[in-house]
Amino acid sequence: MPAWRTVATPILFAVALPLAVFYVLRSQGISQWLALTLSGAVPAVRMAVEVATRRRVDSFEAFMIGMLAVRIVTSLLVGSPRVILVKDAGLAAAAGFWILGSLLVAKPFAFQAGQSWHGPTAARTREAAWRVSPALRSGLTRLTALWGCAQLLDCGAGVLVALLLPVESVPALNRAKGLALLCAVVLITVSYSRRYRRRHALSLFGSSPLITRRKGSSS
């Protein structure tokens, strides 16, 4: 899949389509509560279809599907649009705590995300690099902390927006805020990864030149 599609597809289904569904429904006189509930189902449906097509699911996808399912069910039980908006912002906190919690397990979120982008051969190379390189483990741990804290910041700002601003404007403002924060974190990640590669001759997210050279020198 081209790089632009890898980036654009999640934005389309997590940002553009939910917003379009919400404001189209509102323009047709649908209540704020129902419009928010239906628009919030779009990311969950997309993720479920993708997982069913691949017939496999990684741990983060399973977590997010569970959180989105809880969001839909609780939205049906809560009659207040503002409570739904606050709860939506809470999804970012759940994701942030999940990402930071991965620092307590064998391999943090940044490593797991990188593995999901590669085929079996590159994934095995990264596994080998992880075992022998403290520098790689340190770099991916720092990026995991960055992404987790960014999600918590997104949640805090989202709750304030949901509580203080008119309900009608909150979906657009919160998604614009989330997209801006995501872009900032991606830029920081790319910049850090490039500096890291120049310093250590080691890729944080690709196959490891260090491991490749070691194998070549031993042959």
More confident residue, 188 or 50: 188
The yes-or-no verdict on residue 145 having pLDDT over 90 is: yes
Q: Is the pLDDT of residue 47 over 70?
A: yes
Instruction: Supply the pLDDT for residue 124.
Output: 83
**Count of CB atoms within 10 A of residue 140's CB?**
26
pLDDT mean across residues, the chain: 82
pLDDT tens profile 61-110: 677 777 777 777 777 777 789 988 988 888 889 889 999 999 998 889 99
| Interatomic CA distance for residues 189 and 144, integer angstroms | 10
Pairwise pLDDT comparison (67 vs 21), residue with the higher score? 21
Q: Which of 196, 58, 210 is nearest to 140 (CA)?
A: 196
CA-based nearest residue to 42, from 82, 88, 4: 88
Quote the CA–CA distance of 158 and 153 in Å, as a whole number: 8
pTM, rounded to two decimals: 0.79
Other CB atoms within 10 Å distance of the CB of residue 18: 22
Looking at residues 43-63, what average pLDDT do you find?
Answer: 71
Are the C-beta atoms of 92 and 176 separated by less than 8 Å?
no
Q: What is the pLDDT of residues 152-179, one digit of tens each?
A: 999 999 999 999 999 999 999 998 998 8
